[in-house]
């Protein structure tokens, strides 16, 4: 079995979400966010910085055809607002 992004996505979609690639993509996005949150907590950084990697990841998932454009747009807007609000506190 070759471990590629497509095979991992298909495995998650078929076994957990009844073939829904959108839900599998959101699950992978959530797992990436959780990993970033753990890294930020261990570095004693603000948890708001853990959402910053979601912007390129959601754009990648959208370009790959996994996420809907509306979901990607919503993720990018919400993430940008959270990061900019935290940046305002820092400055």
Rounded Cα distance, 18 and 33, in Å: 23
Q: Give residue-wise pLDDT tens across range 15-56.
A: 999 999 999 999 999 999 999 999 999 998 888 888 888 899
Q: What is the pLDDT of residue 1?
A: 66
The pTM score is 0.83
Average pLDDT over all residues of the chain: 89
Find the mean pLDDT for residues 6-11: 90
User: Long-range CB contacts (< 8 A, 24+ apart) of 24-30?
Assistant: 24/66, 25/61, 25/66, 25/67, 26/67, 26/71, 28/61, 29/54, 29/57, 29/58, 29/61, 29/67, 29/75
């Amino acid at each position: 079995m070759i471990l590629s992004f497509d095979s991992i996505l298909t495995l998650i979609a078929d076994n957990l979400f009844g073939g829904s690639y959108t839900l599998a993509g959101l699950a992978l996005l959530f797992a990436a966010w959780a990993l970033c949150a753990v890294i930020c907590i261990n570095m004693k950084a603000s948890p708001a910085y853990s959402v910053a990697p979601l912007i390129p990841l959601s754009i990648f998932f959208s370009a790959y055809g996994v996420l809907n454009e509306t979901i990607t747009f919503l993720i990018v807007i919400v993430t940008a607002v959270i990061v900019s609000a935290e940046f305002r506190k820092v400055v």
